């Protein structure tokens, strides 16, 4: 009881997680010794997967270095060797998230057929990813503890931005050159990103439920998103 730390009995059969997710142990080069060797063989990846599971199960506040180590069945100091830091782990996990995110955005466009569908595919995929992986999205966009000097994170996040800028360029039927932007181009990018990101943050924080609850019966979040993105803008003089 005194040491509740090493609860999973060191060096004993590690739980192969829940059930249907990832091969139990990649077993690096040799024929696979199969019985929990001292050296894990692919701990880094295993820790990242464990971190994702902990994040989805226990939320952001439950995502600690020690919890991840427990989940992976290794000693609590093992993650430090691979990521150096909690910041390191979070950053690498965020990089994983950005790659998932980018993939989801890219594949969403393939399924679109009509012009309207194509126009809404990206923002819908954006919000859908955040709803499906709220913890991951939180890590990616909410945490101040990220180290963007890590190339993996920097590149994955950069790719995300490039995809957005590219989509806006398509929409405006202009070529967006990598180095310079007009004010209108910048404004268009900022508007698209701000609108979708803001919507997502407010949605995840539950701050849109106030609005959703007052809309006509049965109006879905997706419908509100559509309306927000497509409805005409009217009016003036906002100050009371």
Partner DNA sequence: TCCCTATCTTTACATCGTAAAGATCAAATA
Partner DNA sequence: TATTTGATCTTTACGATGTAAAGATAGGGA
Mark 85-104 with x for binding to DNA (rule: CB under 7 A) and - for no binding: xxx-----------------
Shortest distance, position 30 Cβ to a second copy, whole Å? 43
Q: Which stretch binds a second copy (CB under 8 A): 36-44, 46-54, 90-98, 190-198?
A: 190-198
Shortest distance, position 125 Cβ to a second copy, whole Å? 10
Q: 133-170 in b/e burial notation, b at 16+ Cβ within 10 A?
A: bbbbbbbbbeeeebeeebeebbebbebbeebbbebbbe
Q: Which stretch binds a second copy (CB under 8 A): 39-47, 65-73, 94-102, 166-174?
A: 166-174
Q: Nearest CA to 43 among 8, 7, 73?
A: 73
Nearer to a second copy, 49 or 91 (CB): 91
- If binding means CB under 8 A, how many residues of this protein chain bind a second copy? 67
Quickly count: other Cβ atoms within 10 Å of residue 216's Cβ.
6
Q: Nearest CA to 140 among 100, 186, 176?
A: 100
- Tell me which residues touch DNA (CB under 7 A): 2, 4-6, 10-11, 28-30, 33, 37-41, 43-44, 64-67, 69, 74-78, 80-82, 85-87
């Amino acid at each position: 009881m005194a040491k509740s730390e090493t609860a999973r009995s060191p060096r004993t059969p590690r739980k192969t997680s829940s059930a249907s997710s990832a091969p139990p142990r990649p077993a690096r080069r040799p024929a696979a010794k199969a019985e929990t060797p001292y050296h894990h063989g692919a701990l880094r990846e295993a820790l990242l997967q464990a971190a994702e599971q902990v994040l989805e199960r226990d939320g952001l506040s439950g995502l600690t270095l020690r919890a991840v180590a427990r989940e992976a069945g290794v000693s609590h100091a093992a993650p430090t060797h691979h990521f150096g830091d909690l910041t390191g782990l979070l950053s690498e996990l965020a990089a994983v998230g950005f790659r998932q995110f980018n993939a989801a955005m890219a594949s969403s466009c393939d399924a679109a057929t009509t012009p309207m569908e194509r126009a809404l595919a990206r923002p819908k995929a954006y919000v859908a990813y955040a709803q499906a992986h709220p913890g991951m999205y939180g890590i990616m966009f909410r945490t101040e503890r990220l180290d963007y000097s890590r190339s993996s994170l920097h590149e994955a996040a950069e790719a995300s931005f490039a995809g957005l800028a590219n989509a806006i360029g398509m929409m405006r039927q202009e070529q967006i050159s990598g180095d310079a932007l007009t004010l209108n181009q910048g404004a268009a990018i900022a508007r698209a990103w701000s609108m979708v990101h803001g919507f997502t943050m407010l949605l995840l924080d539950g701050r849109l439920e106030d609005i959703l609850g007052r809309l006509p019966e049965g109006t879905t979040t997706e419908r509100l998103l559509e309306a927000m993105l497509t409805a005409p803008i009217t009016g003036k003089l906002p100050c009371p």
